[in-house]
């Protein structure tokens, strides 16, 4: 066996030193040192040796293994160095060129616009609040003056959970939560995801984003509401915007309005974005209904307030002229990458 091992060492060392490339070197490693390799094959005969012979042969086998490993490592390093040298000698290879830069992520446009709106409102003294996406009937409907048999429930098709909870269909449940949480007067916004059981098309998505805002104080009037909305929209669009109010029905506000802004694309002339009308419907709002104030624990004789619910998804679509809402949550990185800063 000693002869066999010596012969293996001589043969293997010669083969390794002559290995022309990494692939051949790997093959040799397997051939000599692998589980089914030559060394293992010889060692299988160890059992037949006498107790005196065994330690000598074992020690030699280890030496051979170490020698082979060392030779393979050495040859591998030489081959690598040679490969780099060859690359550098290639006149087409320029080692001073910068490598490909890793691709950077970016903020989603809805995030960017939400953060902008948060900044605007924080500067005006609003709290920034976060409320649950899983709600109960009381906060999403009942407390907002939408009882079980009210037709307004049909305006917002709902994802119901098996335990009777639901995915909030709007950010308005936060109105009641905020009233219960803070002593008036106060003002707050709460942006977030909302969910509706919709048939999906270019302007309907099951998940979209709103930001709700409320102001609670004594003697809040429609004039306060209009002033606040104009300030808000001016800050969002970074210019003065022309608005108009139309009556709008929402059970939790009275009076309720649909606020339109003059189309930012055509300045009211009429274009495809505003479908020729010169106006774009943007933000439902109104004075908080006395029943809602009462449900939030406030006395409507003493306190009053306004509320608005701004569709962030729609705002993003208008700002970037995105024609299909499904792009927003579609997760296609080619879409997202268009909003990469810089
Ligand atoms: N919650 C309403 C909706 O999503 C919008 C709204 C909010 C209307 C606040 C009036 C006041 O349709």
Considering only 138-142, 207-211, 260-264, which range has the smallest mean pLDDT?
260-264
Residue-averaged pLDDT of the chain: 90
Determine if the pTM surpasses 0.75.
no
pLDDT at 138 (0 to 100): 95
40 and 116 housed in the same domain: no
Pocket of ligand 1 (CB under 6 A): 170, 172, 250, 253, 256, 284-286, 307-309
When pLDDT is averaged across residues 280-285 and rounded to a whole number, the result is 90
**What CATH number did the domain enclosing 114 receive?**
3.30.930.10
- Pick the most confident of 98-107, 242-251, 316-325: 242-251
Ligand 1 centroid–CA 283 distance in Å is: 8
139 and 281 housed in the same domain: yes
Q: 61 lies in a domain?
A: yes
Residue 199 has pLDDT above 80, yes or no: yes
Q: Whose CA is nearest to atom 7 of ligand 1?
A: 309
134-155 pLDDT per residue, tens:
999 999 999 999 988 887 777 7
Considering only 48-62, 152-166, 261-275, which range has the smallest mean pLDDT?
261-275
63-100 pLDDT per residue, tens:
999 999 999 999 999 999 998 888 888 888 888 888 88
71 and 167 housed in the same domain: no
Q: Which residues span the domain enclosing 17?
A: 2-89
Ligand 1 centroid–CA 305 distance in Å is: 14
Atom of ligand 1 nearest to the CA of 210: 4
170 and 65 housed in the same domain: no
Pocket test for ligand 1, best of 139, 172, 283, 308 (most atoms within 8 A of CB): 172
Q: How confident is the model at residue 50 (pLDDT cuts 50, 70, 90)?
A: confident
pLDDT at 137 (0 to 100): 95
226-237 pLDDT per residue, tens:
998 988 888 888
Q: 99 lies in a domain?
A: no
Q: 101 lies in a domain?
A: no
Q: How confident is the model at residue 331 (pLDDT cuts 50, 70, 90)?
A: confident
Q: 103 lies in a domain?
A: no
Q: Whose CA is nearest to atom 6 of ligand 1?
A: 309
Atom of ligand 1 nearest to the CA of 172: 1
166 and 313 housed in the same domain: yes
Residue 342 has pLDDT above 60, yes or no: no
Ligand 1 centroid–CA 172 distance in Å is: 6
Q: How many domains does the chain have?
A: 2
Please state, in angstroms and rounded to a whole number, the distance separating the CA atoms of residues 303 and 294. Answer: 10
More confident position, 323 or 24? 24
Ligand 1 centroid–CA 191 distance in Å is: 13
Q: 342 lies in a domain?
A: no
173 and 76 housed in the same domain: no
Q: How confident is the model at residue 247 (pLDDT cuts 50, 70, 90)?
A: very high
157 and 301 housed in the same domain: yes
**Listed residue (297, 264, 293, 296) closest to 280, CA to CA:** 264
211 and 285 housed in the same domain: yes
164 and 302 housed in the same domain: yes
184 and 314 housed in the same domain: yes
181 and 255 housed in the same domain: yes
200 and 295 housed in the same domain: yes
Q: How confident is the model at residue 337 (pLDDT cuts 50, 70, 90)?
A: confident
Q: 268 lies in a domain?
A: yes
Atom of ligand 1 nearest to the CA of 171: 1
Encoded tokens for 162: 């098996």
Ligand 1 centroid–CA 267 distance in Å is: 26
pLDDT at 341 (0 to 100): 64
Q: How confident is the model at residue 114 (pLDDT cuts 50, 70, 90)?
A: very high
pLDDT above 90: percentage of residues in the chain: 53
Ligand 1 centroid–CA 101 distance in Å is: 45
Ligand 1 centroid–CA 327 distance in Å is: 23
Ligand 1 centroid–CA 31 distance in Å is: 74
Q: 243 lies in a domain?
A: yes
Q: Name the domain boundary from 89, 124, 139.
A: 89
Q: Name the domain boundary from 61, 89, 117.
A: 89
Pocket test for ligand 1, best of 192, 209, 252, 312 (most atoms within 8 A of CB): 252
């Amino acid at each position: 066996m000693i002869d066999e091992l010596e012969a293996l060492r001589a043969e293997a060392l010669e083969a390794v030193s002559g290995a022309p490339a990494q692939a051949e070197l790997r093959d040799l490693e397997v051939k000599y040192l692998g589980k089914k390799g030559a060394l293992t094959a010889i060692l299988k005969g160890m059992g037949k040796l006498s107790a005196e012979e065994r330690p000598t042969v074992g020690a030699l086998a280890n030496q051979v293994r170490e020698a082979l490993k060392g030779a393979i490592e050495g040859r591998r390093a030489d081959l690598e160095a040679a490969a780099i040298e060859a690359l550098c000698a290639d006149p087409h290879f320029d080692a001073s060129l910068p490598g490909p830069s890793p691709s950077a992520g970016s903020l989603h446009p809805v995030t960017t616009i939400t953060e902008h709106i948060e900044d605007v409102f924080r500067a005006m003294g609003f709290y920034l609040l976060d409320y649950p996406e899983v709600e109960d009937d009381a906060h999403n409907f009942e407390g907002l003056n939408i009882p079980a048999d009210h037709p307004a429930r049909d305006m917002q098709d709902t994802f119901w959970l098996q335990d009777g909870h639901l995915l909030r269909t709007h950010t308005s449940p936060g109105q009641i939560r905020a009233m219960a949480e803070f002593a008036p007067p106060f003002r707050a916004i709460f942006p977030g995801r909302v969910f509706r059981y919709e048939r999906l098309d270019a302007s309907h998505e099951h998940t979209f984003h709103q930001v709700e805002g409320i102001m609670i104080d004594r003697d809040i009037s429609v004039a306060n509401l209009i002033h606040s909305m104009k300030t808000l929209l001016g800050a969002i669009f970074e210019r003065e915007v022309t608005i108009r109010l139309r009556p709008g029905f929402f059970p939790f506000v009275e009076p309720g309005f649909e606020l339109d802004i003059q189309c930012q694309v055509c300045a009211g002339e009429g274009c495809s974005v505003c479908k020729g009308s010169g106006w774009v419907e943007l933000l439902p709002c109104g004075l908080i209904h006395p029943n809602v104030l009462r449900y939030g624990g406030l006395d409507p004789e003493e306190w009053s307030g306004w509320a608005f619910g701004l569709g962030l998804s729609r705002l993003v679509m208008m700002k970037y002229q995105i024609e299909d809402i499904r792009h927003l949550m579609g997760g296609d990185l080619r879409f997202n990458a268009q909003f990469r800063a810089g």
